[in-house]
């Protein structure tokens, strides 16, 4: 039997270390919500390939639809059209927020973000963009200019895109303006308005881009009043509102897109990750008149809208619809949040539990409230040792990032929570923090 260590060693001899991997295992198979490593160890997967496997590994409907497509043709490029890609676009638009009626397919989240900002600049004739501090929008140079979840991602890549400004994300647990949710006057929004007075006039601003639920930056749902104020501000000044739903979309937050949970529609949306169950596919989805004003030759791709990825995407969306997985996501998410709140009452190590649907962050803190990255690292390792794959996020890497699939069974939820609670026990004991008796 091949050992994990052997594959890791071979990997080290061929890959750049620039690309970080969370766990030192190599997998042999993935089915449903479990993976098996090359040594035969089985794990419950609560990382879902960085949030791309919203209906788990190798869902039979995805496998069947892809197997039907492959013998027909696997690529068309921009040479001719094909029905599978058209059908996937039709279905994606049918579940997209109302009013977003045209799309452009690409391959990755970063590409979708690039497309969204190109569209916004082109059709508005304006160049400025406001993004939010702590956001992650991708690694290509345009998307990286918006990304600010960690300065390491930007180090030595300057100068980045000019006329990009950042305003603090409404991260209530660590409010950048030291407000408490009870007495919040939305100082973060006032700051954004101030930027329009000091740094860039609305007339120069093409777009404001935001993750409605902050992903890599810490798993923080934006407060609804903040998003509603953003929508009003954009309407008032003709600024395009872009929602980056690369991670929060495709059922992850309990509706097809997080924007629908909030009842707030952007002008442009970037979608990727979960839309094709692990096959590379992304999309810029926008209002019809914006897309109509983007002239031929203004954007393009060779692989975007690949028919095999589109077959996987169709099967993914049909599965979410037919199996009632949006409803499952809401009820599983509610149950998981309740269980985590219970754990928070027992472990002072847990400073905050927040999320939407099955996109949940658990922020670990030291006694003085500062981020506890060490404890987070130890919990990830403990969980892995007990057969649960979990990853972390946040600028200090102190936030457990829980993204189980929408197909998680009640028993799997139970199993995951049990492992997590045993890991918390071990790590809290090791710190002398101990477990608080149940109230
Ligand atoms: C919100 C968001 N936008 C964009 C991206 C970039 O996606 P990709 O890694 O597919 O380029 C990510 C990836 O994590 C993301 O979470």
Decide if pLDDT at 181 tops 80. Answer: yes
In 3-state terms, what secondary structure has residue 241? strand
| Residue-range domain boundaries for the chain | 4-58+324-430, 73-322
CA 143 to ligand 1 center in whole angstroms: 9
Decide if pLDDT at 239 tops 80. Answer: yes
CA 436 to ligand 1 center in whole angstroms: 38
Q: Ligand 1: which atom is nearest the Cα of residue 107?
A: 10
Among the residue ranges 150-164, 171-185, 186-200, 263-277, the one predicted with the least confidence is 171-185
pLDDT range class, residue 2, cuts 50, 70, 90? confident
CA 356 to ligand 1 center in whole angstroms: 18
Q: What are the backbone angles phi and psi of residue 27, rounded to the nearest 5°? A: -95, 150
Q: What are the backbone angles phi and psi of residue 206, rounded to the nearest 5°? A: -75, -45
The total number of residues shown for the chain amounts to 439
Decide if pLDDT at 436 tops 70. Answer: no
Report the nearest-CA residue for atom 7 of ligand 1.
109
Decide if pLDDT at 266 tops 90. Answer: yes
pLDDT range class, residue 429, cuts 50, 70, 90? confident
DSSP string, 94-146: HHSPTTEEEEEEESSHHHHHHHHHHHHHHHH---EEEEEET----SSHHHHHH
Residue range 73-322 forms a domain whose CATH class is: alpha beta
- The pLDDT assigned to 180 comes to 87
Q: Ligand 1: which atom is nearest the Cα of residue 282?
A: 10
Q: Ligand 1: which atom is nearest the Cα of residue 248?
A: 1
- The Cα–Cα gap between 232 and 208 comes to 12
CA 156 to ligand 1 center in whole angstroms: 20
Cβ(107)–Cβ(122) below 8 Å: no
DSSP string, 367-406: TTS-B-HHHHHHHHHHHHHTTEE-EEESTTS-EEEE---T
CA 318 to ligand 1 center in whole angstroms: 23
Q: Ligand 1: which atom is nearest the Cα of residue 110?
A: 11
For ligand 1, pick from 215, 243, 253 the residue to mutate: most ligand atoms within 8 Å of CB.
215
CATH T-level assignment (fold) for domain 4-58+324-430: 3.90.1150
- The pLDDT assigned to 433 comes to 53
Cβ(268)–Cβ(120) below 8 Å: yes
CA 184 to ligand 1 center in whole angstroms: 30
Decide if pLDDT at 406 tops 60. Answer: yes
The sign one gets for the Cα dihedral 283, 285, 291, 294 is: negative
Token pair belonging to 236:
């008032």
Decide if pLDDT at 45 tops 50. Answer: yes
Tell me how crowded residue 152 is: count the other CB atoms within 10 A of its CB.
8
Decide if pLDDT at 285 tops 60. Answer: yes
For ligand 1, pick from 137, 149, 309 the residue to mutate: most ligand atoms within 8 Å of CB.
137
Decide if pLDDT at 435 tops 70. Answer: no
- The Cα–Cα gap between 218 and 232 comes to 26
Residues with CB under 6 A from ligand 1: 50, 108-110, 113, 136-138, 211, 215-216, 244, 246-247, 272
- The Cα–Cα gap between 373 and 384 comes to 17
Q: Ligand 1: which atom is nearest the Cα of residue 143?
A: 4
pLDDT tens readout for residues 342-356: 999 999 999 999 999
pLDDT range class, residue 405, cuts 50, 70, 90? very high
């Amino acid at each position: 039997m091949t050992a994990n260590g052997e594959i890791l060693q071979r990997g080290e001899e061929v890959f750049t270390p620039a690309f970080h991997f969370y766990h030192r295992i190599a997998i042999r198979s993935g089915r449903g919500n479990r993976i098996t490593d090359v040594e035969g160890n089985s794990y419950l997967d609560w990382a879902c390939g960085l949030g791309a496997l919203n209906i788990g590994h190798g869902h039979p409907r995805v496998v069947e639809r892809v197997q039907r497509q492959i013998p027909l043709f696997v690529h068309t490029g921009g040479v001719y059209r094909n029905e599978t890609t058209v059908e996937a676009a039709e279905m994606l638009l049918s579940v997209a927020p109302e009013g977003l009626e045209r799309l452009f397919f690409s391959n990755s989240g970063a590409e979708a973000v690039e497309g969204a900002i190109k569209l916004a600049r082109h059709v508005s004739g304006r160049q400025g963009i406001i993004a939010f501090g702590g956001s992650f929008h991708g690694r290509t140079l345009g998307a990286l200019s918006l990304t600010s979840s960690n300065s390491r991602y930007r180090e030595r890549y300057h100068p980045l895109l000019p006329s990009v400004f950042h305003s603090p994300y409404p991260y209530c647990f660590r409010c950048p303006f030291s407000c408490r949710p009870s007495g919040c006057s939305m100082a973060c929004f006032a700051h954004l308005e101030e930027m329009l007075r000091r740094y860039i006039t609305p007339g120069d601003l093409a777009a404001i881009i935001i993750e409605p639920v902050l992903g890599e930056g810490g798993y923080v749902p934006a407060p609804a009043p903040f998003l509603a104020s953003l929508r009003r501000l954009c309407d008032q000044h003709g600024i395009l509102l872009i929602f980056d739903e690369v991670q929060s979309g495709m059922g992850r937050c309990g509706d097809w897109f997080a924007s629908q949970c909030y009842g707030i529609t952007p002008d442009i949306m970037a979608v990727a990750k979960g839309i094709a169950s692990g096959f590379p596919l992304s999309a810029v989805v926008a209002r019809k008149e914006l897309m109509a004003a983007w002239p031929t030759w203004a954007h393009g791709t060779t692989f975007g809208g690949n028919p095999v990825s589109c077959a996987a995407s169709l099967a993914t969306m049909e599965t979410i619809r037919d199996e009632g997985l949006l409803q499952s996501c809401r009820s599983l998410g509610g149950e998981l949040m309740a269980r985590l709140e219970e754990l928070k009452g027992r472990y002072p190590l847990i400073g905050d539990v927040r999320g939407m649907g099955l996109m949940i962050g658990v922020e670990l803190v030291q006694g003085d409230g500062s981020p506890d990255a060490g404890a987070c690292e130890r919990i990830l390792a403990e969980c892995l040792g007990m057969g649960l794959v979990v990853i972390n996020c946040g600028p200090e890497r102190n936030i457990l990032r829980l993204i189980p699939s929408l197909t998680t069974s009640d028993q799997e939820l139970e199993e995951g929570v049990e492992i997590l609670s045993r890991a918390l026990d071990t790590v809290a004991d090791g710190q002398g923090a101990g477990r608080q008796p149940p109230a």
